[in-house]
């Protein structure tokens, strides 16, 4: 499989604290990739470095053959990296539909299309996540699971090639987890590469083709979901020695 994203020896420090040290990984086109690790292991920091919310201190990040680690986040989004946020960050002053119009206008149709067109497109995306009935609802009135879906829908509206789902299932019930998993699976079948960060082990294990486990800013293990669960280092990281 040809790599879509190449992360090479990426480090990130916050003052004296090393959040990531020399992390390297490759993610292939169309892959379903799982990123796990205990709290504070650097998962979200790594995602922030890839999406551009943070700049990495050392190493390089290549997306689709081009170095992107010096690009601002919005340009990475335009190149095809979209993300959802662990704590949903809807545009609260806007309706659900309008939340999607923002990436549609700023990524896909920069200054070319009229609102009517992007609205039809936004509705189409809302339909795929099952939020079409909420299109006109103010986004600060959504329930937790609806907010998670909105996060994914807004990321989809940027028409990404790589979608990073940062704990999209945290705090959801079993049925709701299945719903979100189904959405991600559909996206993957449409050709979108997906990185899933998750605490809910069962979800990651069911979804991912390959899993990497981070602990204290280092990759401690990489392999198939089955191999990861059996790995003694992973067990130690999660349960303690």
Partner 1 sequence: MKFWISCAIALGGAIALAAILKNEYFFFAGYTVLMFIVLATAWNILGGYAGYVNFGTPAFFGLGAYTAAVLFKAFELPLALQIVAAATMSGLLGLGAGLLTLRLRGIFFAIATIALVVIMETLFINWRYAGGATGLQLLRPPPTAPFESYIKMLFVVMAALAVIAVAIARYIETSWLGRGLRAIRDSEEAAEASGVPTLKLKVFACTVSGALMGVAGAPMPMYLSFIEPASTFNLNYAIGALASPMIGGTAHYIGPVLGAILLASFQQIVTVTISNEVNVLVVGVMLVVFVVAAPDGILGLLKKIPWKRS
Summarize as ranges the residues that interact with partner 1 (CB under 8 A): 51-53, 72-75, 77-78, 82-83, 85, 89-94, 98, 101-103, 105-107, 111, 154-155, 157-158
Under DSSP, is residue 61 helix (H, G, I), strand (E, B) or coil? strand
Query: CB-wise, 184 or 219, nearer to partner 1?
Result: 184
Q: Distance (Å, rounded) from C-alpha 132 to C-alpha 220?
A: 42
Q: What is the CA radius of gyration of the chain?
A: 18
Q: How far is the CB of 221 from partner 1 (least distance, A)?
A: 29
Q: How far is the CB of 113 from partner 1 (least distance, A)?
A: 9
Is there a contact between 106 and 182 (Cβ–Cβ < 8 Å)? no
Query: CB-wise, 150 or 183, nearer to partner 1?
Result: 150
Q: Distance (Å, rounded) from C-alpha 207 to C-alpha 185?
A: 8
Q: Distance (Å, rounded) from C-alpha 42 to C-alpha 220?
A: 12
Q: Distance (Å, rounded) from C-alpha 52 to C-alpha 61?
A: 10
Query: CB-wise, 3 or 53, nearer to partner 1?
Result: 53
Q: How far is the CB of 97 from partner 1 (least distance, A)?
A: 12
Q: How far is the CB of 85 from partner 1 (least distance, A)?
A: 6
Query: CB-wise, 184 or 211, nearer to partner 1?
Result: 184
* Phi/psi-derived region of residue 67, left when phi > 0, alpha when psi is between -120 and 50, beta in every other case: beta
Query: CB-wise, 91 or 238, nearer to partner 1?
Result: 91
Q: How far is the CB of 162 from partner 1 (least distance, A)?
A: 13
Q: How far is the CB of 119 from partner 1 (least distance, A)?
A: 12
Is there a contact between 92 and 109 (Cβ–Cβ < 8 Å)? no
Query: CB-wise, 101 or 237, nearer to partner 1?
Result: 101
Give the CA count within 13 Å in the CB-facing half-sphere of 207.
Answer: 33
Residue in the block written with tokens 């083709």: 209
């Amino acid at each position: 499989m040809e790599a879509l994203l190449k992360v090479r020896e990426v480090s990130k420090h916050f003052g004296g604290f090393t959040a990531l040290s020399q992390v390297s990984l490759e993610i292939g086109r169309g892959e379903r990739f799982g990123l796990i690790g205990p709290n504070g292991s650097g998962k979200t920091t790594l995602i922030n470095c890839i999406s551009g919310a943070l700049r990495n201190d050392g190493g390089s990040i290549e997306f689709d053959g081009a170095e992107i680690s010096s690009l601002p986040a919005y340009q990475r989004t335009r190149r095809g990296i979209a993300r959802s946020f662990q704590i949903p960050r809807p545009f609260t002053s806007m309706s659900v539909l309008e939340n999607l119009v923002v990436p549609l206008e700023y990524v896909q149709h920069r200054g070319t299309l009229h609102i009517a067109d992007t609205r039809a497109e936004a509705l189409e995306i809302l339909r795929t996540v099952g939020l079409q009935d909420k299109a006109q609802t103010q986004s600060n009135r959504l329930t937790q699971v609806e907010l998670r879906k909105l996060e994914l829908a807004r990321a989809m509206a940027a028409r990404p090639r790589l979608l990073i789902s940062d704990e999209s299932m945290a705090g959801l019930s079993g049925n709701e987890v299945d719903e979100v998993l189904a959405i991600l699976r559909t996206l993957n079948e449409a050709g979108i590469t997906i990185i899933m960060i998750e605490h809910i082990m069962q979800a990651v294990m069911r979804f991912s083709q390959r899993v990497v486990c981070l602990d204290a800013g280092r990759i401690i293990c990489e392999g198939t979901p089955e191999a990861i669960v059996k790995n003694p280092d992973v067990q130690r990281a999660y349960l303690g020695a």
